């Protein structure tokens, strides 16, 4: 009997082990599948970025397509027509970045809970309430009016799905195994949704509620002077002497006599894009270059991740040949060059997202007041699938403004303030941004470039341009609502038609410049145009520092080469420190408290002799930025109501206050009986800064190096520990041209020479071509990016002879 009992127990134990290995444990995958020696995570290890020849067995293309890979793993796709080209682009992009593609789409459309469970329901609900899927569906209707784009998106989806159909569990990207999920079919809608996601990242930052609260507390004069004013050093993107060769629209609506002012409002709990999202671009004509032809540069500032948001690729058919970076999920090149032109992008940041307080007729919310009438509310059902739980059904309400963001709690007794807000946002409008990039890939001259943006809507961009013909230009592409001055700066009255958008600025009235006398153009997210520009685009643009620094350098440069621009991309100078630090040091000397009594007083001499360069191996940037942060809080923190969202002045406005008015009453803390001065705040904030540095980094100042404080880490897109690239030692700062601040910064650096004898490009992004952490191509470019070097981009004019120097990896027939 013991013998049989032992056998029975062993069998039961084996069954239990097999069952445990086959079951997911919480968020973890089934251990048996994940650790399987052939099919599990071991199968994801790669020693080469590309291997062997893949000949596609089915007739998915109408003519042969060949994909060559260079030594950096960049695919060069040669096709005979557009449909076959974009089929191949979808296939090769999915081959390297499938998990990233799907994760982005799920994040954009509010579909993460289907993978990750109930904790993501609220995020998904917010994305649905923002109208992301609604906007993507509207875009698909517009795309249907352009057969060449509809065909391109469908071909791209077919290519992605061809790759997905070739997968088995052992060849799934490792993240699918970790999450215990399968790749979903790629739909054409996903491309529209990804482009709307870019609109969210770059054109969904708003401060209407916060500004309304600030206006209620401090009044209009404060808001005008400290939230809307342009500093003296603000240099607009379009040169101030540029003539406006048009007659403004004559019927811009007139502002109400009394601005609608809601009382203190609760914040609208939507995901806000990073305020640091932006970019630099600049271009010079042949009069300023060593070669006598234009040179263009661009570096786009976004959250830097592993893998990169960008994917490098070359696309060639008999009618065009383009090279650059694409987004995972869209056909075409988004930023790059062809054999005739080059183009780069920076974010405009104009106000294209407005909130309105809505007056409903009753608690049923079936009618709302507008222009003296009760109008019907429309509804849309959103079903959020949830892993491990029942689906969540959410009903979205729509006014003519757009979707209503409803509060989750009833109004407390006695409160009559309306807290439901409707959103008017450019991201909801039908659009076809891909048509613009399709045309850019094929453009040959300035006229083609200018016309490519005629149908472009969002996110609005400052696009720089250069051609082999010698032209340079800056074009603000996108649509901007016609508004009276400061319309949309605060929450509007949803019942008053004067607060509605009244059409859009005509495209030919958008800010632009062509071949300026000074020989250069640049953009760094600052105000697009001088105050003489007749249309109101908003007042919340980037501080002046990067734009001013770029123009200062370009004005002094001649005989420019690619290497000059490579060095300029790495420029870490802080205009902000140059303005603010001398005043801060002088204020310390004016205090009744002696400097000798301050902690680490010897650091003040180092700060006084600092060259304002944010070098990673120096401590001066660390001391200044931590000190500045505490001083900024000391100036404004005591004056703001912390119970409500409020908008504070930008750093350049605050620095301007220190320089222009060091005796300002704004340095006083109203909560105390005494009258504080700038000197008092400088002393107390310096002490706080030293205390913070000691607490966080130790007592030895040599451990306060800026690279440690700035802490540049390239996090995995799904925040999976072990897949990040941690603790990179970098220079730069948020106000430097090299705008690295933590994990945010230059996501693609590019320089292009528009030599008529052959366009040449140079570039790099932080990451690698492969999204597989087990591949050496995962982080192949990181060190090159970190040190500021650029790869010469292998812009092939024709297929290689005998595959010399390349590997023919994929052939579609």
Please give the Cα distance from 637 to 642 (Å, whole number): 8
Query: Do residues 419 and 145 make contact, with C-beta atoms less than 8 angstroms apart?
Result: no
- pLDDT score at 407: 54
**How many Cβ atoms are within 10 Å of 428's Cβ, its own excluded?**
24
How much is the CA Rg of the chain, to the nearest whole Å? Answer: 28
pLDDT at 671: 85
pLDDT recorded at residue 47: 39
Which secondary structure element, helix H or strand E, spans residue 29, and what is its range? none
Provide CB contacts within 8 A for 347, sequence distance 6+: 202, 203, 277, 278, 279, 459, 460, 461, 462, 525
Instruction: At 106, give phi and psi (nearest 5°).
Output: -65, -40
Which residues does residue 812 pair with via DSSP β-bridges, in sequence order?
56, 65
Task: Give domain status of residue 620, yes or no.
Answer: yes
Cα separation values, 243 from 201, 479, 660, 808, Å? 32, 21, 31, 52
Contacts of 53 (CB under 8 A, 6+ apart): 808, 809, 810, 811
Q: How high is the pLDDT of residue 49?
A: 41
Please state, in angstroms and as integers, the Cα–Cα distance from residue 749 to each residue in 650, 741, 789, 791, following that order. Answer: 27, 16, 10, 10
Let me know if residue 560 belongs to a domain: no
- 191 neighbors 104 (Cβ within 8 angstroms): no
H helix intervals, 250-337? none
Half-sphere exposure of 239 (CA within 13 A, CB side): 17
* HSE-up (13 A, CA, CB side) for residue 240: 8
The whole-number average pLDDT for the span 190-195 is: 98
- As beta bridge partners, residue 298 has 281, 750
Contact by Cβ (8 Å): 807, 800 = no
* Backbone φ/ψ region at 684: left (φ over 0), alpha (ψ -120 to 50), beta: alpha
pLDDT band at 263, cuts 50/70/90?
low
d(CA 190, CA 81): 23
Summarize pLDDT for 671-699 with one digit per residue, the tens: 888 999 999 999 999 999 999 999 999 99
| Mean pLDDT score of the chain | 90
Task: Supply the pLDDT for residue 284.
Answer: 98
Task: Write out the catalytic residue numbers.
Answer: 279
704 within a domain of the structure (yes/no): yes
Q: How far apart are the first and last CA of the chain?
A: 67
Q: How far apart are CA 594 and CA 255, in angstroms?
A: 53
Cβ-contact 336, 314 below 8 angstroms: no
The residue among 272 and 348 whose pLDDT is bigger is 348
Residue 749, Cα to own-chain centre: how many angstroms? 15
The residue range of the domain holding 605 is 575-710
pLDDT for res 270: 60
pLDDT at 15 over 50: no
Angle in degrees, 0-180, between the axes of helices 147-165 and 188-203, rounded to the nearest 10: 110
| pLDDT confidence of residue 278 | 85
Provide φ and ψ at 475, rounded to 5°. Answer: -130, 125
- 115 and 181 Cβ atoms separated by less than 8 Å: yes
Residue 354, annotated ligand binder? Answer: yes
- Distance separating alpha carbons of residues 174 and 177, to the nearest angstrom: 5
Q: Is residue 156 part of a domain?
A: no
Q: Mean of the pLDDT values across residues 245-267?
A: 79
Q: How many helices (H) and strands (E) does the chain have?
A: 22, 28
> Which strands form 512-514's sheet, in the order they lie side by side?
54-56, 807-812, 65-69, 75-78, 310-317, 320-327, 335-338, 341-347, 461-467, 472-477, 512-514
What average pLDDT does the segment 430-457 reach?
98
What pLDDT digit, counting tens, does each position of 72-124 carry? 999 999 999 999 999 999 999 999 999 999 999 999 999 999 999 999 999 99
- The residue among 658, 551, 24, 679 whose CA lies nearest residue 236 is 551
Q: Tell me the C-alpha distance between 368 and 375, whole Å.
A: 5
Query: Residue 27: its pLDDT value, please?
Result: 46
User: Closest by alpha carbon to 22, among 180, 242, 231?
Assistant: 180
Say if residues 399 and 494 touch (Cβ distance below 8 Å).
yes
Say if residues 771 and 98 touch (Cβ distance below 8 Å). yes
Contacts of 156 (CB under 8 A, 6+ apart): 86, 87, 89, 90, 188, 191, 330, 331
Residue 583 lies in a domain: yes
Render pLDDT for 539-564 as a digit per residue (tens, 0 to 9): 999 999 999 999 999 999 999 999 99
Question: Per residue in 738-778, pLDDT tens?
Answer: 999 999 999 999 999 999 999 999 999 999 999 999 999 99
Q: What is the pLDDT of residues 600-636, one digit of tens each?
A: 888 999 999 999 999 999 999 999 999 999 999 999 9
Residues sharing a CB contact under 8 Å with residue 246, sequence separation 6 or more, in sequence order: 506, 508, 509
Position 413 scores a pLDDT of 53
CA-based max dimension of the chain: 102
pLDDT at 275: 75
Identify whether 205 is part of a domain: no
Q: How far apart are CA 309 and CA 325, in angstroms?
A: 9
CA distance 695 to 710: 16
User: CATH number for the domain including 631?
Assistant: 1.10.1400
In a domain, 584, yes or no: yes
How far is residue 203's CA from residue 195's CA, in Å, rounded to a whole number?
12
CA 462 to centroid of chain Cα atoms: 14
Q: How many domains does the chain have?
A: 1
Find the length of the chain.
813
Helix (H) or strand (E) holding 17: helix 2-22
| Cα distance between residue 328 and residue 105, in whole Å | 10
Rounded Cα–Cα distance for residues 483 and 501 (Å)? 7
Neighbours of 770 (CB within 10 A): 22
Residue 749 three-state SS: strand
Query: What is the mean predicted confidence (pLDDT) over 288-313?
Result: 97
Q: Is 669 annotated as a binding residue?
A: no
| For residue 9, pLDDT beyond 60 | no
Q: Which helix (H) or strand (E) holds 424?
A: strand 421-425
| 3-state SS, residue 427 | helix
Q: How confident is the model at residue 10 (pLDDT cuts 50, 70, 90)?
A: very low
CA atoms within 13 A on the CB side of 592: 3
Banded model confidence at residue 450, pLDDT cuts 50, 70, 90: very high
**Mean pLDDT on 437-459:** 98
Residues 297, 301, 304, 308: is their CA dihedral positive or negative? negative
Q: Considering the domain boundaries, does residue 87 fall inside one?
A: no
Taking the C-alpha atoms of residue 717 and residue 302, their distance in angstroms, rounded to an integer, is 13
The token pair at 587 is: 């204020």
């Amino acid at each position: 009997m013991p013998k049989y009992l032992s056998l029975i127990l062993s069998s039961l134990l084996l069954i239990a082990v097999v069952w445990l290995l086959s079951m997911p444990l919480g968020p973890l995958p089934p251990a048996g599948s994940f650790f399987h020696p052939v099919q599990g995570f071991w199968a994801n290890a790669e020693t080469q970025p590309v291997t062997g020849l893949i000949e596609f067995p089915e007739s998915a293309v109408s003519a042969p397509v060949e994909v060559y890979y260079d030594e950096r793993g960049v695919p060069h796709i040669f096709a005979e027509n557009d449909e076959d080209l974009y089929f191949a682009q979808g296939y090769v992009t999915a081959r390297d970045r499938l998990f990233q593609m799907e994760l982005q789409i799920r994040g954009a459309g509010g579909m993460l809970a289907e993978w990750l469970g109930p904790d993501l329901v609220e995020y998904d609900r917010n994305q649905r309430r923002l109208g992301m899927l609604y906007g993507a569906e509207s875009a698909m209707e517009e795309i249907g009016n352009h057969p060449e784009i509809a065909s391109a998106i469908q071909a791209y989806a077919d290519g992605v799905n061809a790759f997905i159909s070739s997968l088995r569990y052992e060849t799934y990207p490792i993240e699918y195994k970790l999450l215990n999920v399968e790749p979903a079919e790629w739909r054409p809608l996903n491309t529209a949704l990804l482009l709307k996601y870019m609109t969210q990242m770059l054109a969904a930052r708003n401060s209407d509620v916060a500004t309304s609260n600030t206006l209620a507390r401090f009044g209009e004069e404060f808001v005008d002077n400290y939230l809307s004013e342009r500093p003296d050093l603000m240099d607009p993107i379009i040169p101030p002497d540029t003539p406006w060769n048009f007659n403004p629209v004559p019927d811009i609506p007139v502002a109400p006599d009394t601005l609608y002012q809601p009382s203190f409002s609760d914040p609208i709990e939507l995901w806000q894009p990073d305020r640091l999202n932006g970019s630099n671009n600049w271009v010079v004509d042949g009069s300023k270059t060593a070669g006598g032809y234009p040179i263009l540069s661009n570096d786009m500032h976004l959250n830097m991740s592993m893998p990169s948001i960008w994917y490098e690729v070359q696309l060639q058919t008999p009618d065009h040949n383009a090279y650059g970076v694409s987004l995972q999920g869209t056909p075409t090149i988004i930023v790059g060059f062809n054999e005739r032109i080059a183009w780069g992008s920076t974010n405009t940041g104009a106000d294209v997202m407005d909130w309105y307080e809505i007056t409903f007729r009753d608690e049923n919310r079936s009618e709302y007041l507008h222009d003296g009438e009760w109008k019907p509310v429309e509804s849309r059902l959103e079903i959020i699938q949830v892993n491990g739980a029942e689906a969540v059904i959410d009903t979205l309400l729509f006014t003519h403004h757009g979707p209503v963001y409803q509060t989750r709690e009833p109004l407390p007794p006695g409160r009559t303030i309306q807290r439901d807000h409707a959103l008017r946002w450019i991201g909801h409008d039908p659009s076809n941004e891909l048509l613009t990039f399709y045309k850019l890939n094929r453009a040959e001259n300035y006229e083609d470039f200018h016309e490519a943006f005629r149908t472009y809507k969002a996110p609005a961009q400052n696009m720089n341009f250069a051609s082999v013909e010698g032209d340079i230009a800056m074009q603000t592409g996108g649509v901007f609502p016609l508004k009276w001055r400061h319309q949309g700066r605060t929450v509007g009255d949803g019942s008053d038609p004067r607060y509605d958008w009244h059409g859009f600025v005509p495209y030919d009235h958008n800010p632009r410049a062509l071949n300026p006398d000074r020989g250069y153009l640049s953009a760094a997210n600052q105000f697009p145009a001088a105050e003489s520009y007749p249309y109101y685009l908003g007042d919340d643009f980037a501080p002046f520092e990067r734009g001013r620094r770029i123009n200062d350098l370009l004005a002094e440069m001649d005989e420019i080469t690619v290497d000059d621009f490579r060095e300029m991309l790495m420029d870490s100078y802080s205009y902000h420190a140059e303005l603010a630090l001398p005043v801060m040091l002088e204020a310390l000397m004016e205090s009744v408290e002696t400097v000798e009594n301050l902690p680490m007083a010897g650091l003040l001499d180092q700060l006084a002799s600092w060259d304002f360069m944010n070098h990673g191996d120096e401590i001066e940037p660390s001391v200044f930025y931590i000190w500045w942060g505490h001083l900024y809080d000391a100036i404004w923190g005591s004056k703001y109501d912390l119970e409500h969202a409020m908008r504070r002045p930008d750093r350049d406005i605050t620095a301007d206050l220190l320089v222009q008015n060091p005796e300002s009453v704004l340095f006083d803390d109203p909560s105390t009986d005494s009258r504080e001065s700038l000197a008092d705040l400088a002393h107390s904030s310096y002490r706080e800064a030293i205390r913070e540095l000691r607490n966080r980094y130790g007592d030895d100042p040599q451990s306060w190096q800026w690279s440690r404080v700035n802490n540049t880490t390239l996090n995995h897109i799904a925040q999976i520990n072990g897949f990040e690239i941690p603790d990179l030692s970098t220079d730069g700062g948020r106000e430097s041209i090299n705008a690295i601040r933590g994990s945010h910064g230059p996501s693609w650096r590019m320089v292009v020479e528009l030599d008529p004898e052959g366009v040449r490009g140079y570039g790099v992004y932080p990451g690698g071509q492969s999204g597989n952490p087990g591949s050496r191509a995962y982080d192949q470019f990181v060190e090159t990016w970190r040190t500021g070097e650029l790869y010469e981009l292998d812009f092939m004019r024709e297929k290689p002879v005998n595959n010399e120097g390349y590997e023919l990896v994929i052939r579609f027939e």
